[in-house]
Structure 1
Amino acid sequence: MSKKHKHDDHEEHVDESWLIPYADLLTLLLALFIVLYAMSATDAKKFQEMSQAFSIAFNSGVGVLDQSAVVSTPEQVTSKDRTKRADDNEDNQSQQSASDLTKQEQQKLREKEQQQLEKLKQQLDQYIKQNGLTTQLETKLNQSQLMITISDNALFDSGSAAIKSDAKALAVSIGTMLKDYPGYEITVAGHTDNKPINTYEFASNYELSAKRAINFMSILISTGKLDPKLISPTGYGEHRPIDSNKTEQGRAKNRRVEVSIIRKYVDLENSKSVSAGS
């Protein structure tokens, strides 16, 4: 009779240590697919953030989904926004203060300029009165300029652009006064009436008025040592009359030379108000 074989051998246990790296590999693959999906469904900023998260996961061991390392929480974003808004408000307040300061400085400069032009006008008016030129010269100060209007018969013979010898003293006196007020832009404009002119020297009133302006300007520059870059002549001919050309009196007013000292600091708001009211 055969003996029953007793199986005492222990069953071999399977080594399951490979499951640990396998699980880690699956986790990393899952993370990879999540990143790839995020790359295809997010904007450039989120892509950069996920890229940083992925880099940290492989290089430093921080979990890919642990966004606290690279993605700001709503509280952090709110805090940053508040800080940014506060900085922006400070910048706006600084700019506003600088703007107000600039306005104050401009106002002071306008007041100083007003005083200078009023003083120059008084000097001109006194000269006109002392020399009996009230019918030939006139000054006018407005929001944009100080204008000196000179009748053409005080300066030129009819049809001529040469300044009369006894009128040169007038040009010299004006140039001497302007010498004390440097830095202003000055225009010299010549005007005629509407009677046409056609001589060997001047083919039109344009040329006559322009030549008169140039000749008068030359004396101002040489006497007052004015900056040529700031003074310019213009001839308007008969196209900017200040009175009717139907009467001799009106035509006499239209024949003139205007010397304008242009303001450097113009109050635009007041200028608009004056223009609207006029």
Structure 2
Amino acid sequence: MSKKTKHEDHEEHADESWLLPYSDLMTLLVALFLVLYAMSATDAKKFEEMAQAFSSALNGGTGVLDYQSMAPTNSNLDEGKAKKNDNVVDTNRNENEIAKLRQKEQEDLEKLKKQFDQYIKANNLTDLLETKLNQSQLLITISDNALFPSGQANVKPESRQLAKSISYILQSFPDYSVVVSGYTDNIPISNNQYSSNWDLSANRALQFMRILLINPYLNPEKFSVIGYGEYHPVADNSTADGRAKNRRVEVSILRKYQDTTKTTSVSAK
């Protein structure tokens, strides 16, 4: 009886062909990292040459290094300098234009102030009206004695012409914003019509503005009213003369181009 030959099991070897592409991939990755590291130390021209060579090695395709935006080029730097110079030129041009507009505005307001001063002098109103030109506005101050009966906001019939005359002067300069403000002294109001000096001052400013806006050449969108009551005095309320100065209406013609570096103050009384 013959013995059956027992064959020993042979160990099967795994397919190692995958090592070749793996090693190629690792080689390419190492090369990529080296190139990326070298990017920080190379100039724009060398970077472009390296990008072209490396892209050609990768199957002649378009690689990530082909994007020139990854590294600054001379043309990018020149373009940045040109834009910066353009911004400087634009800024200088704007400043020059604003300076010219500010000068024109100063001339306009001085002319407007001169017209008011001539009207005040011609009508013997120097004790009741005052003008002042400063860095923010042309201010016309009107004593309440020239406008209202005591404790009331209705403009006196003989004073309505004053408001109309002011409106005629203002119509030559229609582009300026105008604020009409009312003020009182610190004596509490005591009548059935007004509960406080706030109400009285605000209504006085409103009534005066309404007469100004009878003039159809004035734009109502440019006008506003404020009532300050007793809280912005210009004189001491402990005396009758001081209280009289505090009871007033102010017409403010506001500057559009204020120059905070200068303080121009011209007054006439």
* 2:258 matched residue in structure 1: 266
Alignment check: 8 A CA contact 1:179 1:224 kept: no
Q: Distance in 2 between matches of 1:107 and 1:212?
A: 37
Task: Flag the 1:267–1:31 CA change in 2: closer, same or farther, 3 A.
Answer: farther
Task: Flag the 1:204–1:69 CA change in 2: closer, same or farther, 3 A.
Answer: closer
Alignment check: 8 A CA contact 1:177 1:224 kept: no
Is it true that 1:166 corresponds to 2:166 in the alignment? Answer: no
The 5 A counterparts of 1:87-106 are: 87-106=79-98
Is it true that 1:29 corresponds to 2:47 in the alignment? Answer: no
Is it true that 1:238 corresponds to 2:219 in the alignment? Answer: no
- Structure that is richer in helix per residue: 1
Residue from 220, 227, 233 that aligns with 2:219: 227
Is it true that 1:216 corresponds to 2:211 in the alignment? Answer: no
Q: Normalising to structure 2: TM-score of the pair?
A: 0.77
Deviation string for 1:240-267 (max 9, x for gaps)? 0001101111111000000000001111
Q: Distance in 2 between matches of 1:42 and 1:83?
A: 23
Q: Distance in 2 between matches of 1:119 and 1:249?
A: 32
Give RMSD over aligned pairs: 3.4
- Structure 1: runs of 5 or more not aligned: 1-21, 47-52
Q: Normalising to structure 1: TM-score of the pair?
A: 0.74
Deviation at 1:64, TM superposition (A): 3.8
Task: Flag the 1:68–1:156 CA change in 2: closer, same or farther, 3 A.
Answer: closer
Amino acid at match of 1:172: K
Is it true that 1:63 corresponds to 2:29 in the alignment? Answer: no
Percentage of identical aligned residues: 43
Deviation at 1:184, TM superposition (A): 0.7
Q: Decide which moves more: 197-206 or 132-141.
A: 197-206
Deviation at 1:193, TM superposition (A): 0.2
Deviation at 1:37, TM superposition (A): 7.3
Deviation at 1:84, TM superposition (A): 2.1
Number of paired residues? Answer: 233
Alignment check: 8 A CA contact 1:175 1:224 kept: no
Deviation at 1:270, TM superposition (A): 2.8
Task: Flag the 1:42–1:230 CA change in 2: closer, same or farther, 3 A.
Answer: farther
Q: Higher RCO, 1 or 2 (CA under 8 Å, sep at least 6)?
A: 2
Task: Flag the 1:163–1:41 CA change in 2: closer, same or farther, 3 A.
Answer: farther
Deviation at 1:269, TM superposition (A): 3.0
Deviation at 1:206, TM superposition (A): 0.4
Q: Distance in 2 between matches of 1:221 and 1:84?
A: 59
- Structure ID, larger Rg: 1
Task: Flag the 1:69–1:157 CA change in 2: closer, same or farther, 3 A.
Answer: closer
* 1:117 matched residue in structure 2: 109
Amino acid at match of 2:228: Y
Amino acid at match of 1:139: T
- Structure 2: runs of 5 or more not aligned: 1-15, 40-50
Deviation string for 1:93-151 (max 9, x for gaps)? 10110110011111111111111111110000000000000000000000000000000
After TM superposition, where is structure 1 displaced by more than 4 Å over at least 4 residues in a row?
34-43, 65-70
SS of equivalent to 1:140: strand
